[in-house]
A and B are shown apart, each in its own frame.
Chain A
Amino acid sequence: MDLAIPDMALVVLIGASGSGKSTFARKHFAPTQVLSSDFFRGLVADDENDQTASADAFDALHYVAGKRLRAGRVTVVDATNVQREVRAQLVKLAREHHVLPVAIVLDLPESVCVERNAARPDRDFGAHVVRRHRTLLRKSLSGLAREGFRRLHVLRGQSEVDEARIVIEPLRTDLRGETGPFDVIGDVHGCRDGRKVTVAHGLGESLAQLEAETPEFRAAVRDFCDGLLAHYVLDGGRLVVAHAGLPERYHGRASGAVRSFALYGDTTGETDEYGLPVRYPWATEYRGAAMVLYGHTPTPEAEWVNNTMCLDTGVVFGGKLTALRYPERAVVSVPARKVWYEPARPLGAFTREPDSLELTDVLGRRVVETGYGEVSVRAEQAAAALEVMSRYAVDPRSLWYLPPTMTPPPTHRDGDLLEHPAEAFADYLDQGVREVLCEEKHMGSRAVVLARRDGTGVVHTRTGRAFFPSDDLLPRIADAVTAAGLWSELDTDWLLLDTEIMPWNVKAAELIKDQYAAVGAAAGSVLPAAVSALSAASARGVDVSDLLERTRGRADNAVAFRAAYRGYCGGPVRIAPFQVLASAAATYHTTPHLWHLSVADRLVEADPDLFAPTRRLAVDTADADSVAAGVAWWTELTSAGGEGMVVKPAANLLMRGKRPVQPGIKVRGPEYLRIIYGPDYRDEANLARLRERQLGHKRSLAQREYVLGLAGLDRLVRGEPLWRVHECVFAVLALESDPVDPRL
């Protein structure tokens, strides 16, 4: 006998002790699907037959069953379940999770049950227990269907039990096997004269019109309506179509609540100024993976809200008819020929709250699947980032990317240098990368620029703070992009650029003044005085020679220190773009760096006063001559006062197994490092200590932040909801909260 069980069911086994429920469950279900009361008694009381532990055991059983049902897993409750109250709790549990409760009754003769119990040494209770179970079961049988079980199977006698076969039936809503393509049409009210299919507005008129039709037509309409379901799950679960929308916890589920939501939405009980029901904005909180398409409430424009779209654009009210082509996500609209029906609320009165974020989108421990490997964020990192993001960052709706940290090369061991290009080239060769591109490192402030064609946009720092280098920066960038012909070439009306904005003191004025300049000022005052006091003492014959020599050295270092930071201050605002992060049309992670720099070159050509070029040199890490040329180039750059260079894989994103190759290695010049490590860092004793610096964490951090950045851009360009993009941006900031030596 086939026992049909709907997918996502809660299966309640019913039978007296000894009726063979556990054996039946074992035969037809996986061990993890079966929750047995005996097992839970054992868990809470170390004794499967301790009846005093039953209350706690069922508590725990219900808890676990709830977890399974929430995840949509078929769950079997293996207990006698002969009492009506016990079953009522299970039916309630199933309804709470919008799955169907199913009962399977094992109705076996008392003698069989008693005999089986007698054969088991751990069941020392008498035949009266089985008799009581049987009595309760007999009383229950006639009423079981009314208790709310959607399917009821009664197996009478051992032969029926033996012949039973479980058949899982998909729900009627489950069309996951249908993979499309689909055209989903928003609302068909009034799209053809006299063919109003839904009865939302003007029910009376519709019915009157139906009266005028032939009986055959009316019957066809009735059958069509009867066959309609409140929602469908399509394409492997990736697409859900519901009349009034559906939150994720209801997808593919069946209950009165699910049907009601799908038909009418979640009304708050309040009415708006037009007397229409106020609906809870479920879509703004929607975080599901499936695309949800719905209608019911007319909106002026079909817009994506968290991967959901309301396709009802009010054609019956004189708006337009909208359809969505799936999987292309292309929206097609046709204006209404006329106002078929006057709306109670003007179409334009509808205002949608912009995409918003919830605390649960970012807090707590998270694992972000980037498409380039998983990155986990610890709860305390997220907590730290929440403060920075909330208090200092620009609006997350235009904060699409935070640049990753960048690692220096393995520490140089010879001479008085801490960093040298040789280690960067060798490191890439080790990672299997031969073609690298050396790019001049500008000494300014890292800035991400979102430039829109209309001259608006956002400039922010690497921690997401707003950055206003100059008033006309964004319009000038837009003009330059126009002049370079890039809007049309890249088929976009915005560009997200990774840049360096100079001079350094535009953004870092406080840091420079409070720290670097103050160090220079104090040193400039005290060191000459100290040198002269020591010289005077020395002239008197006091032996202070070591101290004098040391102090003289420091006076020289202090002068060099001042010269180092001064070189990066002053002058007009200039911007050096070095990477096109994204456009409306695409991301460019796998486009070679030379292309990115060619875009930068065209901007420099368009507005040479604003844009600064980035010098570059291609190096083959396996070719000694080429490496030597790279080292010479770096030496030339840095001895002319340059900060240093960044070595990148020429091809851009390269994966090595599951992890990306380091996206860049910065090789900073010795004078720049003086600013970072202090005036006297090149003294032998100091260098020896500085060479102990640990890079492992920095390197790993750079990789993790890099893939998070890529994932955020991928999600952005795919048109994914704000919270999905923000998850990546936030995670970068969260990782940055780790204590890493900031001098690296």
Chain B
Amino acid sequence: MRDTRPVLLTLTTTRAPATDLGYLLFKHPDKAQRFDTAAGPAFVFYPRADEQECTAALLLEVDPVALSRAHRGQDTGLGHYVNDGPYAAGSLLAVALSRVFKTAMNGRCEARPELAASPIPLRVHVPSAPCKGKDLPERLFGPLGWQVDARTIPLDPAFPEWGDAPYVDLRLTGEIRLADALRQLYVLLPVLDDAKHYWVGADEVDKLLRAGGDWLAAHPERDLISARYLKHRGAYVRTALERLTELEGGEVREEPAENRPLAAVRRETVLGVLRELGARRVLDLGCGGGALLRELVAEPTVTEIVGTDVSPRALAGVARWLERLPERTRERIAVRQSSLTYGDPSLAGFDAAVLMEVVEHVDPPRLPALERVVFDVARPAHVLVTTPNIEHNVRFPGLTGLRHPDHRFEWTRAQFRAWADAVADHRGYTVAFRPVGPDDPEVGPPTQLAVFSRKEA
């Protein structure tokens, strides 16, 4: 869509003479000015400018073409075109803020240096601030001294059952240095949205520290802010947190060993079982990004590894990793596209097949097809199946529903056993069960594992 759409932010002060806001912002109160930003043209004008009160408005006419370029490859279907992004403040507004009020954000003001250095009464209004999390505005802006008024916006008043839109009508009131206010908005508006429109690069860590260095270190939501700002990119998040911790003068925190991610425990358990079984030729069915493959190639006793996945995109990622392996290692491993609902005789004859966190992504009516493909067509000597134990979900704080949006089901221990026993019986296998992760006396382990072994003819 090539039409342009507005995003609005207003800043008001009542500190007399209020028109000094023009000096602080480096924008004349009686003029409307236009700036070109990466997100589209931005206009600054003053709806009110007198002794008592002065309001500066930043109106950004987002260029959706620029936006869709930033989205390229991430979205499909109509949602890509009719996108709410352009109307929403979020990171686009942050980008415009830093472009238009760059000097003010640095706290420089030759005309009114003492004013720039002191807290002034400020009101901020963002009529549609994208917000993922009801209490988030209070949690983010409250600790910084703002009085927060965030009103939810219904998706459509004609259909109240649809609930609220992912926006708030955000009003902040406080006594704060203008430069700090601008920096906080710059960092926190995208965090509120949790959907930065552009790809996070390593230099973003530096930008975050520059903008947040003096107030972010002590913010109680520091981890959340860093993680969301850097869009959950693990390596960057850790770097930023370590540097923030240094700024704070504290120690770099390490995750305690018993608190290892469940995925790592799962892989270790699976590898342990494969070692016990003496499996030399191993299938990883549904290998995804290849986390298990990486550990399998490090096992010297495993001589042949074939990873399959139905997603060409996942396989492309694994293929890039494969290319970097030493030749001798690469000869032991192959990945290719396959599907667990289409028979693939080329997967026959292996010692073991691993289906790690795979079955719960298959619609229950299609499970018999999976059973045929794995247990009849591929028919390895052993099959390892891991899947979540839904009983354990109560132990994950804040988890409602299933563990992943694509999970078609999660089984109790009894349901998993019933399925596995029936499969073993019907397909000529025996089956044994093991816990993965701490076996809670009440609700069992977080992950359950079934080890199937083919009955010899």
> Which of A249-257, A513-521, A611-619 contacts the other chain?
A513-521
Q: Residue A269 at the B interface, CB < 8 A?
A: yes
Query: Which residue of chain A is the closest to B127 with respect to CB atoms?
Result: A529
Contacts A526-B8, A543-B32 known; A513 to B155 CB distance under 8 Å?
Answer: yes
Query: Which residue of chain B is the closest to A380 with respect to CB atoms?
Result: B312
A529 touches B8 (CB 8 A): yes
Q: Residue B247 at the A interface, CB < 8 A?
A: no
A390 touches B342 (CB 8 A): yes
Q: Could you say which residues of chain A place their CB within 8 Å of the CB of B7?
A: 526
Give the CA-CA distance A617 to B64 in the complex, in Å. 40
Q: Residue B153 at the A interface, CB < 8 A?
A: yes
Give the CA-CA distance A544 to B361 in the complex, in Å. 55
A356 touches B372 (CB 8 A): yes
> Which of B82-90, B198-206, B228-236, B274-282 contacts the other chain?
B82-90
Q: Could you say which residues of chain A place their CB within 8 Å of the CB of B45?
A: 533-534, 537, 542, 544
A742 touches B3 (CB 8 A): no
The one of B6, B43, B154 that contacts A526, using a Cβ cutoff of 8 Å: B6
Q: Could you say which residues of chain A place their CB within 8 Å of the CB of B77?
A: 511, 742
Q: Could you say which residues of chain B place their CB within 8 Å of the CB of A527?
A: 6
Number of interface residues of A (CB under 8 A): 73
Q: Could you say which residues of chain A place their CB within 8 Å of the CB of B338?
A: 359
B1 touches A525 (CB 8 A): no
Q: Residue A270 at the B interface, CB < 8 A?
A: yes
The smallest C-beta distance from A541 to any residue of chain B, in angstroms, reads: 7
A516 touches B82 (CB 8 A): yes
B59 touches A387 (CB 8 A): no
The one of B6, B84, B158, B341 that contacts A530, using a Cβ cutoff of 8 Å: B6
Give the CA-CA distance A67 to B90 in the complex, in Å. 62
Within 8 A of A (CB), among B1-59: 1-3, 5-8, 10, 30-32, 43, 45-49, 55, 57, 59
Q: Residue A386 at the B interface, CB < 8 A?
A: yes
Q: Could you say which residues of chain B place their CB within 8 Å of the CB of A690?
A: 2
Q: Could you say which residues of chain A place their CB within 8 Å of the CB of B81?
A: 676-678, 742-743
Contacts A362-B342, A386-B339, A542-B31 known; A519 to B84 CB distance under 8 Å?
Answer: yes
The smallest C-beta distance from B408 to any residue of chain A, in angstroms, reads: 9
Within 8 A of B (CB), among A657-700: 675-681, 683, 686, 689-690
The one of A361, A466, A530, A742 that contacts B342, using a Cβ cutoff of 8 Å: A361
Q: Residue B300 at the A interface, CB < 8 A?
A: no
Q: Could you say which residues of chain B place their CB within 8 Å of the CB of A357?
A: 341-343
B48 touches A356 (CB 8 A): no
The one of B57, B153, B343, B376 that contacts A521, using a Cβ cutoff of 8 Å: B153
A383 touches B312 (CB 8 A): yes
A569 touches B155 (CB 8 A): no
Q: Which of A268, A511, A514, A521 has the largest count of B CB atoms less than 10 A from its CB?
A: A521
Q: Residue A384 at the B interface, CB < 8 A?
A: yes
Q: Could you say which residues of chain B place their CB within 8 Å of the CB of A91?
A: none
Q: Could you say which residues of chain A place their CB within 8 Å of the CB of B366?
A: 395
Contacts A537-B46, A547-B32 known; A676 to B156 CB distance under 8 Å?
Answer: no
Q: Residue A123 at the B interface, CB < 8 A?
A: no
A544 touches B48 (CB 8 A): no
Could you list which residues of chain A lie within 8 angstroms of chain B, going by C-beta atoms? 268-271, 285, 353, 356-359, 361-363, 380, 383-384, 386-387, 389-391, 394-395, 466, 511, 513-527, 529-530, 532-537, 540-544, 547, 551, 554, 562, 566, 569-570, 675-681, 683, 686, 689-690, 742-743
The 6 closest A-B pairs by CB, nearest first: A536-B47, A522-B87, A521-B165, A680-B3, A270-B457, A518-B84
**Subset of 25 A-B contacts with CB under 8 Å:** A269-B457, A358-B345, A386-B310, A389-B339, A390-B339, A395-B365, A517-B159, A521-B153, A521-B167, A523-B5, A526-B7, A526-B127, A529-B8, A533-B59, A534-B47, A535-B47, A537-B46, A540-B48, A566-B158, A677-B1, A677-B81, A677-B82, A678-B81, A678-B82, A683-B3
A523-B5, A537-B57 are known; give 9 further A-B pairs, CB within 8 A. Answer: A357-B342, A386-B342, A390-B342, A519-B83, A530-B6, A536-B47, A544-B32, A569-B159, A676-B78
